[in-house]
Structure 1
Amino acid sequence: GNHGQSLAYAARAYGTQATVFVPEGANSLKVTAMRRLGAEVIHFGQDFDDCLMESKAYAGRNGALFIHSANEPLLVAGVATHTLEIMEEAPDVNAVFVAIGGGSGLCGACLAGKGINPGLEVVGVQSSGAPVVYESWTARSLLRKDECDTFAEGIATREAFAMPARILWDTVDDIMLVSDADLRRAMLTLLETTHVLAEGAGAAGLAGLYQRRDRYAGKKVAVIVSGGNLTLDGLADAMNKERAW
């Protein structure tokens, strides 16, 4: 997704090629975008975690640099710039809602946002069908699931990764779960009211805020919408199943 596209772009900019692993049946828009940016895309396994294991093995076999999608300090520093920009544009913001996949984006929001304003509330949002980061944060223990069940592939992960998990244990104010139905409603609400086309993962922050709308009434809240890789079939599916709020 966004991680693969960013690495493909950076690799091309420095005169090399990224190799990106994606699951079988991966979002076609994401695959096309990565290839257009010069990446070699290899389909493997059923989900993110299958790809993670195979990409590590591939890097070992070929002497390539393995770049994790979450356990990378420089990656967290890079994605943290989204919250840095929020704090520069709206320094009086009270809270930020961020989707959770591997956790790098949420870690970045905590480190940058609270580094500027320690009173900033940072809330992570995860699908109830893929709750491993939420459960790890609650238990203060690194957990792994055998499976996950959400249409939002950008936040469909079965494992809590060590570096982001430990950052979140010390920094994030809250992590919450939302249903796939709420993710679809948030997608359609963004499209209908702001003309922003977001995939399920990209709409997670808004789904969380809507669930907590009474608590944050009258406050200034930022929602990070990260992920616009929504296919026409995905949009049609959302429209057939749900309606905007």
Structure 2
Amino acid sequence: MVHRTPCKQSSTLNNITGSKVYLKLENLQKTGSFKVRGAFNKISQLSEEECAKGIIAASAGNHAQGVALACREKGIPVTIFMPETTPQAKVMATRQYGADVRLVGNNFDEAYAASKKQQLVTGATFVHPFDDLAIIEGQATVAMEMLQQCPDLDTIIVPTGGGGLLAGTALAVKLIRPSVRVIGVQAQVTSPIASIFRDTNYVSNMFLSTMAEGINVRVPGKLTTKIIQSYVDDVITVTEEEIASSILFMLEREKMLVEGAGAAAVAVALHHHLPSTSTSTGIIVSGGNYDISKLDECRKTATGIVVASSF
């Protein structure tokens, strides 16, 4: 039900890093994001009774589309709560897949709270965007494909919000090829998993936003956090300027429009955050659902850190 997406080398990133860099292009996945993998895996395991109650979910955008598509395929009614700040491209696509979309709050956490409140009223079956083993197992298939496509990888970079993709990647990699390093990346302005991983205090600022809205989760999952602490090698952060310049890099040099979450992972290579010992790195470009109306803002944010034409 999902695509086996390409994993291609980037000659420009090879030159910048002095090593081999592969891009796992989940922006070319169905619904434009890896999230459909976990959604299909979870919903395929629901009982007839659970499906009959209907589905309810909360999402910053990409999980919504995956759930909506999976529910359409199975004929299950679905209601999805999304932040009011969600890019219109994600909202419109979710509605086109047949979901009843409710826009609530300024961020994922507020939309999530509203969805749980509604679930108590309706009794619908909740499909969590990341803190669920079936979701995590579905996301793990990204890394499984990467290890088959690029057997010489020694490092995999994973964009991280609630932690489902990072947890799934770590479980798969450490089972199949434990010597490969798994490194999560978060936006610097909203980085709870990085703080937990490094055992530092994290103070959430509900007024801060990030260009990587797909990984803007202030309360990560309990299950995902436990897995990450046990199996992930490192979690680092990148700045808004680095994310913005990476969006422009992907557009101008790789001829692909990717969203901020995927660009955050690219920023690790583009801005020299890779481990010095890495010789073959896989980067998960997690999604391509970018709001093109924000390109001008993206260019302004990137100004001063890198000139797009200089790549």
Q: Report how far residue 56 of structure 1 moved.
A: 0.7
Q: Which residue of 1 aligns with 2:57?
A: none
SS at match of 1:145: coil
Q: Which residue of 1 aligns with 2:81?
A: 21
Q: Which residue of 2 aligns with 1:145?
A: 204
Q: Report how far residue 131 of structure 1 moved.
A: 1.1
Q: Which residue of 2 aligns with 1:154?
A: 214
Change over 3 Å in CA distance of 1:5–1:51 after alignment to 2:
same
Give the fraction of aligned pairs with identical amino acids, expressed as a percent: 32
**Higher RCO (Cα < 8 Å, 6 or more apart):** 2
Q: Which residue of 2 aligns with 1:82?
A: 142
Q: Deviations over 1:54-105 (max 9, x none)?
A: 1011111101011111111000111111111101111211111010111101
Q: Report how far residue 125 of structure 1 moved.
A: 0.5
Q: Tell me the TM-score normalised to structure 1 length.
A: 0.94
Note the 1:142-221 alignment, pairs <5 A: 145-147=204-206, 148-212=208-272, 215-216=275-276, 219-221=279-281
- Between 151-160 and 40-49, the greater mean CA deviation after superposition: 151-160
| Structure 1: unaligned runs, 5 residues or longer | none
- For the pair 1:31 / 2:91, whether they are aligned, the reply is yes
Q: Tell me the TM-score normalised to structure 2 length.
A: 0.74
Is the Cα–Cα contact under 8 Å of residues 240 and 301 in structure 2 kept in the other structure? no
- How many Å separate the matches in 2 of 1:68 and 1:121? 27
Runs of 4 or more consecutive aligned structure 1 residues displaced over 3 Å after TM superposition:
211-218
- For the pair 1:134 / 2:188, whether they are aligned, the reply is no
Is the Cα–Cα contact under 8 Å of residues 151 and 180 in structure 1 kept in the other structure? yes
One-letter amino acid matched to 2:247: M
Q: Which residue of 2 aligns with 1:44?
A: 104
Change over 3 Å in CA distance of 1:140–1:116 after alignment to 2:
farther
Equivalent position to 2:120, from 46, 55, 60: 60
Change over 3 Å in CA distance of 1:4–1:210 after alignment to 2:
same
- Between 234-243 and 224-233, the greater mean CA deviation after superposition: 234-243
Q: Report how far residue 139 of structure 1 moved.
A: 1.8
- For the pair 1:235 / 2:295, whether they are aligned, the reply is yes
- How many Å separate the matches in 1 of 2:183 and 2:167? 11
Aligned length: 244
Change over 3 Å in CA distance of 1:150–1:218 after alignment to 2:
closer
One-letter amino acid matched to 2:157: F
One-letter amino acid matched to 1:65: T
SS at match of 1:177: strand
| Structure 2: unaligned runs, 5 residues or longer | 1-60
